[in-house]
């Protein structure tokens, strides 16, 4: 991967997870999400989990890993509720 592609990937990932981080911050401010939640940590974990499971599904040509990851992510999000 050349320098320009690395930069593009970095910018895309940073912009992508920062939107989620900002939504999580808003949820904390509105007392919808637990106050002790780290918005950056949750956003990065969520995006990483989705991207990793998506890549596994793509490589393995089945949705098992993606379905498992989405079920876990749904439980994780429910547990953030204030």
Provide the residue ranges of all domains of the chain, joining segments of one domain with +: 3-79
- Residue 50, helix vs strand vs coil: helix
pTM summary value: 0.74
Place of tokens 């320009």: 4
Q: Is the pLDDT of residue 19 over 80?
A: yes
Q: So what's the pLDDT on residue 78?
A: 96
Other beta carbons within 10 angstroms of residue 82's beta carbon come to 12
**With contact defined as beta carbons under 8 Å apart, do 66 and 54 qualify?**
yes
Average pLDDT, the chain: 86
Q: Binning pLDDT at 50, 70 and 90, where does residue 4 land?
A: low
């Amino acid at each position: 991967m050349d320098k320009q592609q690395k930069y593009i990937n970095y910018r895309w990932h940073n912009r992508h997870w920062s939107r989620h981080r900002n939504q999580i911050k808003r949820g904390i401010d509105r007392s919808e999400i637990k106050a002790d939640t780290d918005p950056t940590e949750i956003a990065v974990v969520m995006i990483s989990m989705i991207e990793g499971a998506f890549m596994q599904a793509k490589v393995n040509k089945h949705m098992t890993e993606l379905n498992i990851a989405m079920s876990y992510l749904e439980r994780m999000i429910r547990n953030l509720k204030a």
